[in-house]
Amino acid sequence: MGIDLVALAKERRFTQDWESRRVGRHDVLVEEGKVGVFVYLFRDDRVLVAKANRGYREDVVEAMLDAVADLMDGELGDTVHVRPIDVPGFALDRAVLLGPGQTGFWEKRAPELVERGLQVVPAYRGEVADGEPAKRFRWAVLGKGLSLRDGHWDRDPVPRALVTRDNGPERGMTVPKGRDMIMSAETVLDNYGKHITDGIEILLRDVRDRELRLRREWDRFNGTLVDDPIESEVSVPVDRLWESLGPLFHGEDADAASLVTGPDVSLPMLMVRVHNRYRSDAAMSPVLLDEALNWVRGLEPVHGHFLTFTGRSEGTVQMMWHADGPNRPELWLETTYPKKRELHGRFVTVEEAERMVTILAVEDRVAVGELGNLKVDTW
């Protein structure tokens, strides 16, 4: 007596009223409910499901079934099987087939379904590698890595990167908190990259296993792209990491023109140490000039709150609010001369402080002497 897969598949489902439909060249059963649409393709002793909680499109189902139906009867093992799809107006361009025991959909059902149930998931070419372990795909894309939902068909693509920090502090404003993390490539390059401190080196791999090794050197990331057997130089400004290198994680071939950009396009930046009611830094962090000026303008006039800025050549401008006397709060600004063991400074307006910080970032020089009427202290 054979197994009634349809009856088993309907057990404990939201509705038993499944509709028979013809989707392209495929005869399927469609389950519709409040949580979305589920399309089932039954073939011999296997059943394939495609689920959409949002953004269901029948032309997408047709494209995915066309792409993977011929694989249903084969030995799928514990890896993903990726096939291209091309649906007008649909952002995801890959159909990912998960075999028995690898789906996350059938595993809590009857044992017969676990052994026979397959799932096809739409994905993007920068999110998945053909032949990678299904367990890794589910963790990296549908789990803690990218945290995407397999049933959200209306989502935007999220190219991924395997990230390793080779050196640097174990804590602080750096990319990963450990090694070998799968993250959104855009998050790494466009967000965390701006806060990586000077000298920190990271390694990223895309789904094509191209290796991107980058080292922060002031306002740039320098390194190499290894696309075996070719090695290419990389040198891009911090603020243009994603613009320059993002196409790699979208699956495009390397473009030498985007891998190396001239130093004249870099934005002015500084290192900053902050002490206020929310933050008291032990180490300095990189900031672009706009962010540095925001710190100056936003520093509350509370006694003891201070900022320290350091330029490329290690010139320093630091400021602190004094509010312990009878007068209204005043902003003290100074620079240090370690060889002379001297501090030169005076009380300034916020506008004067902004000008000193701007000159330090843009011209890489300390202009405190131009304020005049400075007080000199020694230590």
pLDDT digits (tens, 9 = 90+) for 203-251: 999 999 999 999 999 999 999 999 988 999 999 999 889 999 999 999 9
Residue position matching structure tokens 């030995």: 75
pLDDT at 139: 94
**Per-residue confidence band for 179, with pLDDT thresholds at 50, 70 and 90:** low
Query: pTM to 2 decimals?
Result: 0.84
Q: Above 50 in pLDDT, residue 57?
A: yes
Within a 13 Å sphere around the CA of 54, how many CA atoms are in the beta-carbon half? 8
Q: Above 60 in pLDDT, residue 267?
A: yes
pLDDT at 193: 85
Give the tokens for residue 24: 């392209």
Angle between helices 350-363 and 289-298 (to 10 degrees): 160
pLDDT at 166: 56
- Residue 184: phi and psi, rounded to 5, are -65, 125
CA gap 352, 361 in Å, rounded: 14
Q: How far from 263 is each of 62, 258, 364, CA to CA, in Å?
A: 49, 13, 15
- Of 52, 150, 163, 28, nearest to 97 by C-alpha is 150
